[in-house]
Structure 1
Amino acid sequence: MLPQKLIVICTRNFANHTCNGKLQSPLMKTVLSGYNSYFPKIIDQSLEKVSFVYTPAMRERIKKCSEYYTIGRNPVQGEFMVLAYEALNKDSMIDDEMIHKLQVIVTTVEMVQTYFFFWDDLEDKSMTRLGKPCWHLLEDTGLFAFTDACIMRSFINDIIRQNFHGEMCANILSVYDKVYFTSSVGQYMEAAISRSRNYNNYTMESYTKIGNLRSSFYSVKSPLLLGLALNNKLNKESYDVVDDVGLDIGVLVQCHNDLIDYFSEKGTLNIGKSGTDIQEGKFSWVATTFLENCNSEQKRIFAENYGSADPDKVKRIIELYEEVNVAQHYQLEQQKRFDIFNEKVSKLPKNATPSAEFFKSFQNLLHYYSQDTTNLMYDKH
């Protein structure tokens, strides 16, 4: 198991209260601590404004879809977004209207995660997620989950249009559109390599390229871009800064999730979703790391056993991972990704937006989640 290290975040105006070992500013506490209370209210208020959803049954289904994986989950991306917004908003007053807008973004960015869960669980034929049956396994769902996901995506955009206008609305929707596009392309490319069963294609170079699409933009870059959009500071220059600096630590999120899946299959961590990467032969960071550090005999055994649901074969793969100590390789991976991140930050010009100072604070928050496998960044997708 990795060291359970908590690193304190240092940003402006932090109060003396903590949340899971992290210091939070008054604004972050206001927006994040009330998440489970205001989320359903925003859903209800938004549904009331959608006139064509006129039957109580349809309204109830959309509400149930929106809340199923979202209520009770730690809104990590919302946390990243609020951190970015506050760091970029040092001179402006934050009134009730702005707090509401922040709550809307936290609500919708977490709904995007639920949207991806619907698709991912269908593709993986998963049984449980967050300690409950997967959405598509509910009695009245099945393949309707595809339609539910499409409705969810459109509803997210409608909530944004109800609460934002003009350039700010356009910029926020543009970020979400990029999330849908890049993540879907990355998901397809990962699946294509996985299904090929050509383990020569399991390279860290390919993993990084696909991870940037599948995970990096959504998990790290998009919350920062949303913070910029809310401050009317999203432009080509600020976009390029986030796109470049956020790449490797964004890929680290996917590495972390893949490691969690392995610990789940190994039986040393309960994440509320059974690990399935080994059974499905996934092009994961764990499998790629193994293949780049094994000998020819270990690779032969891997090829004979990977991608099978046979418990004995799954057990043999776990034994192979233990032989090369993938957990230790994760620590090296984390250090490498953060070294690249820090080098990019050090080269930022003094007037960069976001600034080097912001990225250093953001690094501490990412360390909190990526250092300890009990601090789950996201349930795997």
Structure 2
Amino acid sequence: MDQARNLPDGNDEIQKAVAFSKEYVDNFRTIFPNIIDEALSKICYLDSWNIRNRIKEMTEYYTLEKKPMLGELMLYAYAMLEDNEVWKEEKRHQAYLLASVIEMGASYFLFTDDIQDDGKTRCGKVCWHLLPNVGTLAINDACMLRSFIQEILQQNFPEPLFYKITKFVNKIFFIAATGQHVDITLARDRNFDNFTMKCYCKMSEMKTAFPFIEVPIIFALILSNKATEESMQQIHNICVDMGVLIQIQNDITDFYDYEGLTKSSTDIQKGKCSWLAVKALELSNEDQRCIFEECYGSWDPTHVHKIRELYKELKLPQLLVQEKEARYETFFRKINELPPVCVPDVNFYQKLFKLIKNTRI
């Protein structure tokens, strides 16, 4: 595997970034609830403690059960990008708020994904919409969560920063929702001719690479006042492969997590356009394709077993290793092609690789 240019790893900027993001991660279970409580206390029209408690409960339900990887990535990027002369407490607080908003946004996507996929478990817990006091109210809860994100931003970010952030937030929700639409309709229509790697990568780019990889970095650029069309395009070009790889790893997790230890394993039953399904169609002979078309998208345990056996027969889990290597090669090649002076710089992308290479969503 090619490696990025070997730049010094112990300079002040990197040490500052690591310390800043680590402080947030280590104290996340204290920092995040405090931010939520403070924001709720400022909303005067929420005079019912029942509503406040509901918002707090749903906001923390998934968010506190997972490592705040997106917040960590955003804070690392911000610490690397921000000029030392403006590195002050107010900006640090805004960075923590923005990192927490990103984590809330991730939880919003988990809520809607579980509702649409009829998920059963997430983060080792029963899915939110299956709780006795939730049910179909989960749809309204998701709407409240999205609006609460906007409320927190409005409380803490002055103009023109508020406008820049909210404009980008709207873009996040639109692109991710579009990717989710493609995901759902591909599974619903069952036209396996559309299960192509090109279609899969584009879908993964919209619903995973953009919201889970590009977004934290772009937020850091906005907060440090370094967001330009050129810098955002650079981030997209470099990060898209890693984002697709994260989605592939998520699909593989679904295959191995048959007992539902981290999330419900239903990609086969739902007929999802997963990496495994796409590769199976690429590699299958005529008889194997007949098995796939007959059994894929069925809840019959016998059919599910046949698909799982077909995946093993085609050695798809082993092929993931080759896929990882190819994505890593592309990632490092793009880093090596960066100009000596760029924003973000090569050091940042090296750290990015370490942060996200084993990420699960």
For the 8 Å contact 2:24–2:31, the answer to whether it is kept is: no
- Percent pairwise identity: 35
For the 8 Å contact 2:188–2:271, the answer to whether it is kept is: yes
Say yes or no: does 1:67 pair with 2:60: yes
Which residue number in structure 2 is paired with residue 249 of structure 1? 242
Say yes or no: does 1:315 pair with 2:305: yes
For the 8 Å contact 2:212–2:243, the answer to whether it is kept is: yes
Aligned length: 353
Deviates more, 1:166-175 or 1:181-190: 166-175
Which residue number in structure 1 is paired with residue 326 of structure 2? 336
Counterparts in 2 of 1:24 and 1:320: CA distance versus 1, 3 Å: farther
CA distance in 1, matches of 2:11, 2:47: 46
Structure 1 unaligned regions, length at least 5: 1-8, 16-22, 370-375
For the 8 Å contact 1:216–1:249, the answer to whether it is kept is: yes
Q: Provide Cα deviations, 1:66-87, integer angstroms capped at 9, x if missing partner.
A: 1111113111111111121122
Which residue number in structure 1 is paired with residue 347 of structure 2? 357
Counterparts in 2 of 1:76 and 1:355: CA distance versus 1, 3 Å: same
CA distance in 2, matches of 1:202, 1:164: 43
Which residue number in structure 2 is paired with residue 143 of structure 1? 136
Pairing 1:30-49 to 2, within 5 Å after superposition: 30-49=23-42
CA distance in 2, matches of 1:287, 1:68: 31
For the 8 Å contact 2:65–2:123, the answer to whether it is kept is: no
Which residue number in structure 1 is paired with residue 49 of structure 2? 56
Q: Tell me which of 221, 230, 241 is aligned to 2:223.
A: 230
Q: State the shift of 1:12 in Å.
A: 4.2
Which residue number in structure 1 is paired with residue 147 of structure 2? 154
For the 8 Å contact 1:11–1:361, the answer to whether it is kept is: no
Q: Provide Cα deviations, 1:283-327, integer angstroms capped at 9, x if missing partner.
A: 111111121122221111111111111112111111111111112
Q: State the shift of 1:282 in Å.
A: 0.5
Which residue number in structure 1 is paired with residue 360 of structure 2? 377
Q: Provide Cα deviations, 1:95-147, integer angstroms capped at 9, x if missing partner.
A: 33233222212211111111111111111111111122111111221111111
For the 8 Å contact 2:252–2:276, the answer to whether it is kept is: yes
Q: Tell me which of 278, 287, 290 is aligned to 1:288.
A: 278
Deviates more, 1:23-32 or 1:293-302: 23-32
Say yes or no: does 1:132 pair with 2:125: yes
CA distance in 2, matches of 1:312, 1:262: 16
CA distance in 2, matches of 1:215, 1:137: 25
Q: TM-score, normalised by structure 1?
A: 0.88
For the 8 Å contact 1:10–1:361, the answer to whether it is kept is: no
CA distance in 1, matches of 2:50, 2:88: 36
CA distance in 2, matches of 1:173, 1:137: 31
Q: State the shift of 1:237 in Å.
A: 1.6
Richer in helix (by share) = 2
Which residue number in structure 2 is paired with residue 166 of structure 1? 159
Counterparts in 2 of 1:304 and 1:350: CA distance versus 1, 3 Å: same
Q: State the shift of 1:377 in Å.
A: 2.5
Say yes or no: does 1:176 pair with 2:169: yes
Say yes or no: does 1:206 pair with 2:189: no
- The residue type paired with residue 226 of structure 1 is F
- The residue type paired with residue 325 of structure 1 is K
- Which secondary structure does the structure 1 equivalent of 2:84 belong to? coil
Deviates more, 1:36-45 or 1:47-56: 47-56
Deviates more, 1:131-140 or 1:218-227: 131-140
> RMSD of the TM alignment (CA)?
2.0
Q: State the shift of 1:356 in Å.
A: 2.6
Which residue number in structure 2 is paired with residue 96 of structure 1? 89
Q: TM-score, normalised by structure 2?
A: 0.92
Structure 2 unaligned regions, length at least 5: 1-7
Q: State the shift of 1:160 in Å.
A: 1.2
